[in-house]
Structure 1
């Protein structure tokens, strides 16, 4: 099987080079993995700060590094609800928790279970049906339906066990899977621990680490189940991720090729026939059943062919065993006879074409790149992205995604702090200081802490300004500690504090410095208050990400400035109106879990910078600078397509126009603001006030 002719070795080497060039190499794989680990760690810290007892895990292609730009893989997020205790032995029952017994018997499909509700006060079954989420079976057991979790994420589409949030143009779709944690490693997976393949892979160390990870159940039944609404699939996704993280680069490239073949040849119309998870499972079985020496660059095409032969056998036999829970047949009930025949034909044709199918694949220009490498076409006819360009795109995407995630975490922390008193806020900050157990927590701390420090200092400053119009030294220390959150937002908060205490010289100095910094770098704005389209990054930003390295988020991003109501005395009165944007009717049109920021004053950094300059220069009677700042505010609103809160920028511009005694322009600003956001917009109040003043003046 593995005694290849020269052309196969040459094809393998050329194919490996192409995959390296399009980003399937050690450096970019590591970038992808770091991103997901950081996101997990930031979510963990955020949940602990907010007293949430959940854990989010990012799984699938992006966490493993088994994707490319062209494949545009979804983000898979598993949300574990830690309040539940799923047991397989009565000794695992816990007092006060919502306990369920995992039932695996002749009525459940292998790899699935029923969840029997137990009492919270003693280790006994519940004997009555508490609500419509439960059902009593013929044995009197009270079982939880898996439909309890369907549609729980607002704006999501049910898709098997997951809720898919469809990304806007330029963004990735995200599959959110809600899960309950198992107390111990599933009994149905215990056979994997003693299984030994030809190459002694996975190693004992890998198995030991894998079994130290958590297992879950997710809300979906088998397609061949007699009780599809009662079954819960047992998930060993963290153990599988552990195995995938130990693949070598040839094995990763083989996985990527299988996914490309799947999307291009086997599921061309995005029909759900063979899943990428099945392809990954076939790959793992092949690795387990071959010698490790086979998986090297000059043997890539033969390894791919071996995997396709194994996949063909699985389709023919309607059997693909889960890698860890072997009794779970991933293909059970998946295919009609017609579909099976079609898939078998496509796989057979691809294998018999001996590599020619690869020349047709358009993901990341793989086919054309391979033709050039094999000297089948002249190189000059194509303008491919270089490997350096692809590295820049991946690295800039890493920084943008991490920055966006930081913004999302900050919004959630602000929501929590919005409802806390100052003492509890200080406790949250103290809790934050404890997260430095490892390098990942330390990195996540560096990203999240400055925003929390700034908010803590601003809340304290607001309190002291309200009492004696002074800023306490302690609040200034916290504000100073948070200055490097990004290029602008924390500095603008500090400038706003000084403006609120009429210390215009200090405010002007900070604003001038912030403006200089902003235009010294190719900065991108970040806003996570609502699902706005992502900022389109520039070539300058990509290059700067490499040059700035670890400081990219601090120097190259500009977050919107968010003031919770406890900071109101640090907010210019023109912006304070935003905290009261919603009428009783407007509240009906707010989304409970997404629109809490509407009770704050939130504004994009650049418009706020020019607005503050306009106000400060007015107090300093520097009229020429004041008009320049006003003109910059106008042009920013007109030109900048990346503003997340354009309606707010128009509202503060309208108030500037009123102060300039230009009521018609002010009215135009407010009407444009309402075009941006018709509901939950304080522009309605500004219009009423403006009309009242105009009529009174007459």
Structure 2
């Protein structure tokens, strides 16, 4: 049924419509790119604020927009050490930096280099071997081994699995699997790719402007050598990821759809039996070559099947010749060592079958229900639901999660500081983050999203100091708090209500709490907690909002957990203060790498809202409202799936039960808390109090 050219055009158009339905259209592609570039900017800004000479880059399908929900593409995060200065010319040596000279001679594989260790104080080579991660070659050069990265990274990513230069953390609890790659930057364009800047194919792609931009992006090197090379431990792979991202961002939607279809074919037909042969990166490289060597007017939606067949045919020839040249450094054969003689005939037969089917095999693809969706389109049947709204939510919530991670890192930076040190540090952090007036684009947005959190923390620290001295809150503290009240639906406002409660201003505390409850729509607001990573399906009412995705939606659709530093202790009701002392000496060894929050008092917004309402209504003598708040607290702990600090909420509920004179119920809740977290749990203190 796919033979007639006019029918092929019709099927191509229906196929394009199906791909749009599953999120491969201009709007969703741009949303994906903006979301990842914003996270990239926030991570880099936060590292700069914390005096880390690091830049962060998201690469790969998620950040390019060349994926679907069914492809389950991972995230690729490159962590670039900016204190390293890689040079290809001695004139680029910089004093005071960790300089290394890229060695590109006949002993090095194409697409790779070696790094010669240079002195800090003069543009001269070192003559001594500083550690086991360096090697002195036969002509006296001190070369850096790529093992220096893997040794250091293994400690940071202790729960990750090493794949080449990447450390992979599984996408547990609903999170996307992430590959972390440590890289060194080189500001200059790689010498091995100079020819690429001058050559031009039939398609006049990439354009001269694109190449001019790419030539200024430089490159990275990552810690992996060419397989089977005699210098494998000394080689570093040259990465042109920034250039490739530029190329991807300049593809048409038809070209992106062609790439997505190639990856679906790979997932459905090749990977199940030949896992580590053809990669999606090879498919991307084939696509680049095809675009560069065809006329640009071919790449239209009505020609999608023709374009796909052409790309598959080129892929077939690459496998046949066992040579897939890197698009920018053609001497680097991406297929080297990947296609064995045993599996090659079967892969070629599969590709031949797919090409000869003239599109029929697409009906067999289960990924994203592609085959079923195509059949329904061709038969003019009602289509399955569109996934664009789901994709939007899956972009916005992790963006909020990155904010939570960054703020927790900032709090961890000062968690053991006294008042004066904490105030000075927060002022310093705020000054750096609030430079949004000097920033442009997404950097400006990143600063605007991060700065209010530091205002809230600074205001709370000042308020804690005021309460300690005067049992009141000064004007300066209130000013800072007011600047940070709109970070999200609840957490910053809950800190204000908490400090008002602590100074006995119960009436104003109740007003704030009533306002929070009125704006906390249980069908929309998504809890955010970076202490515990767990993502549930989005709430019923949230998809429609997130489909019109904007970063500012974070303000009124998320509720972060509430965090108090030890120096904010006077803003914390005594029931919650116990959480700052959750760990005995015996508990400390049982903390994990990500348990830095345990020195803070941390509670999810919704249970803390109901707990503070219980306390304020108790003080106001409003018995019915108090009981309603207590019931809401118990119901939330029992039924809300996204509570990161459920054991803390149970501890607060237990103390409420004690105040109600229900000691047996209190003990039951403390034991439930201990069942959730047997170590590093303040419930032990409460159980001891009950018995002694």
2:545 aligns to what?
A: 544
Moved more, 145-154 or 637-646: 145-154
Contact 2:187 2:216 in 1 (8 A): no
Once the 2 structures are TM-superposed, how far is the Cα of residue 445 of structure 1 from its aligned partner?
A: 2.5
Once the 2 structures are TM-superposed, how far is the Cα of residue 519 of structure 1 from its aligned partner?
A: 3.0
Moved more, 675-684 or 505-514: 675-684
Contact 1:87 1:100 in 2 (8 A): yes
Q: Tell me the number of residue pairs that the alignment of Structure 1 and Structure 2 aligns.
A: 681
Once the 2 structures are TM-superposed, how far is the Cα of residue 236 of structure 1 from its aligned partner?
A: 0.7
Q: Give the Cα–Cα distance (whole angstroms) in 2 for the partners of residues 417 and 446 of structure 1.
A: 22
Contact 1:453 1:482 in 2 (8 A): yes
Once the 2 structures are TM-superposed, how far is the Cα of residue 227 of structure 1 from its aligned partner?
A: 2.0
Q: Give the Cα–Cα distance (whole angstroms) in 2 for the partners of residues 434 and 224 of structure 1.
A: 49
Moved more, 286-295 or 513-522: 513-522
2:8 aligns to what?
A: 8
Contact 1:101 1:117 in 2 (8 A): yes
1:584 aligns to what?
A: 585
What SS class does the counterpart of residue 429 from structure 1 fall into? helix
Once the 2 structures are TM-superposed, how far is the Cα of residue 539 of structure 1 from its aligned partner?
A: 3.2
What SS class does the counterpart of residue 656 from structure 2 fall into? helix
1:415 aligns to what?
A: 412
1:331 lines up with 2:341 in the alignment: no
Contact 1:198 1:291 in 2 (8 A): yes
Contact 1:521 1:555 in 2 (8 A): no
1:80 aligns to what?
A: 80
1:406 lines up with 2:403 in the alignment: yes
1:61 lines up with 2:58 in the alignment: no
Q: Structure 1 pair 406/572, CA: closer, same or farther in 2 (3 Å)?
A: same
1:566 aligns to what?
A: 567
Matches within 5 A, 1:244-283: 244-268=248-272, 271-283=275-287
Q: Structure 1 pair 667/520, CA: closer, same or farther in 2 (3 Å)?
A: closer
Contact 1:526 1:535 in 2 (8 A): no
Contact 1:278 1:330 in 2 (8 A): yes
1:519 aligns to what?
A: 521
1:695 aligns to what?
A: none
Q: Give the Cα–Cα distance (whole angstroms) in 2 for the partners of residues 160 and 543 of structure 1.
A: 40
What SS class does the counterpart of residue 220 from structure 1 fall into? coil
Q: Give the Cα–Cα distance (whole angstroms) in 1 for the partners of residues 459 and 549 of structure 2.
A: 28
Once the 2 structures are TM-superposed, how far is the Cα of residue 609 of structure 1 from its aligned partner?
A: 0.6
1:209 lines up with 2:213 in the alignment: yes
2:512 aligns to what?
A: 510
Matches within 5 A, 1:142-181: 142-150=142-150, 151=154, 152-181=156-185
Q: Give the Cα–Cα distance (whole angstroms) in 1 for the partners of residues 237 and 41 of structure 2.
A: 26
2:480 aligns to what?
A: 478
Q: Structure 2 length as normaliser, TM-score?
A: 0.95
From 391, 396, 415, the counterpart of 1:394: 391
Q: Give the Cα–Cα distance (whole angstroms) in 1 for the partners of residues 629 and 527 of structure 2.
A: 20
Q: Deviations over 1:371-391 (max 9, x none)?
A: 22233xx736xx621x3xx12
Contact 1:216 1:234 in 2 (8 A): yes
Q: Give the Cα–Cα distance (whole angstroms) in 1 for the partners of residues 54 and 4 of structure 2.
A: 51
Matches within 5 A, 1:674-689: 674-689=674-689
What SS class does the counterpart of residue 483 from structure 1 fall into? coil
Once the 2 structures are TM-superposed, how far is the Cα of residue 72 of structure 1 from its aligned partner?
A: 1.4
1:696 aligns to what?
A: none
Once the 2 structures are TM-superposed, how far is the Cα of residue 487 of structure 1 from its aligned partner?
A: 0.7
Q: Deviations over 1:64-95 (max 9, x none)?
A: 11001111110111111112111111122222
Q: Structure 1 pair 270/528, CA: closer, same or farther in 2 (3 Å)?
A: farther
1:196 aligns to what?
A: 200
Q: Deviations over 1:596-628 (max 9, x none)?
A: 111101000011111111111222222332222
Q: Deviations over 1:637-688 (max 9, x none)?
A: 1111110000111111122222222222222111111111122112112222
Q: Give the Cα–Cα distance (whole angstroms) in 1 for the partners of residues 500 and 103 of structure 2.
A: 63
Contact 1:31 1:395 in 2 (8 A): yes
2:129 aligns to what?
A: 129
Contact 1:361 1:367 in 2 (8 A): yes
Contact 2:189 2:219 in 1 (8 A): yes
What SS class does the counterpart of residue 484 from structure 1 fall into? coil
Q: Give the Cα–Cα distance (whole angstroms) in 2 for the partners of residues 501 and 4 of structure 1.
A: 80
Contact 1:521 1:556 in 2 (8 A): no
Q: Give the Cα–Cα distance (whole angstroms) in 2 for the partners of residues 200 and 100 of structure 1.
A: 36
Q: Give the Cα–Cα distance (whole angstroms) in 1 for the partners of residues 122 and 517 of structure 2.
A: 64
Contact 1:263 1:270 in 2 (8 A): no
1:459 lines up with 2:457 in the alignment: no
Once the 2 structures are TM-superposed, how far is the Cα of residue 551 of structure 1 from its aligned partner?
A: 4.2
Once the 2 structures are TM-superposed, how far is the Cα of residue 154 of structure 1 from its aligned partner?
A: 2.5
Q: Give the Cα–Cα distance (whole angstroms) in 1 for the partners of residues 678 and 119 of structure 2.
A: 50
Once the 2 structures are TM-superposed, how far is the Cα of residue 549 of structure 1 from its aligned partner?
A: 5.2
Q: Give the Cα–Cα distance (whole angstroms) in 2 for the partners of residues 270 and 287 of structure 1.
A: 27
Q: Structure 1 pair 645/66, CA: closer, same or farther in 2 (3 Å)?
A: same
RMSD: 1.7
1:623 aligns to what?
A: 623
Once the 2 structures are TM-superposed, how far is the Cα of residue 527 of structure 1 from its aligned partner?
A: 0.6
Once the 2 structures are TM-superposed, how far is the Cα of residue 10 of structure 1 from its aligned partner?
A: 2.1
1:671 lines up with 2:671 in the alignment: yes
Q: Give the Cα–Cα distance (whole angstroms) in 2 for the partners of residues 335 and 372 of structure 1.
A: 37
Q: Structure 1 length as normaliser, TM-score?
A: 0.95
1:355 lines up with 2:359 in the alignment: yes
Q: Deviations over 1:301-322 (max 9, x none)?
A: 1111111111111111111111
Once the 2 structures are TM-superposed, how far is the Cα of residue 4 of structure 1 from its aligned partner?
A: 7.9
Moved more, 655-664 or 458-467: 655-664
Once the 2 structures are TM-superposed, how far is the Cα of residue 171 of structure 1 from its aligned partner?
A: 2.0
Contact 1:36 1:58 in 2 (8 A): yes
Q: Give the Cα–Cα distance (whole angstroms) in 2 for the partners of residues 105 and 631 of structure 1.
A: 73
Once the 2 structures are TM-superposed, how far is the Cα of residue 270 of structure 1 from its aligned partner?
A: 7.4
What SS class does the counterpart of residue 320 from structure 2 fall into? helix
What SS class does the counterpart of residue 681 from structure 1 fall into? coil
Contact 1:45 1:435 in 2 (8 A): no
Q: Give the Cα–Cα distance (whole angstroms) in 1 for the partners of residues 73 and 577 of structure 2.
A: 42
What SS class does the counterpart of residue 413 from structure 2 fall into? helix
Q: Structure 1 pair 591/130, CA: closer, same or farther in 2 (3 Å)?
A: farther
1:223 lines up with 2:227 in the alignment: yes
Once the 2 structures are TM-superposed, how far is the Cα of residue 521 of structure 1 from its aligned partner?
A: 5.6
Q: Deviations over 1:562-620 (max 9, x none)?
A: 1111211111111111112122222212234x211111010000111111111112222
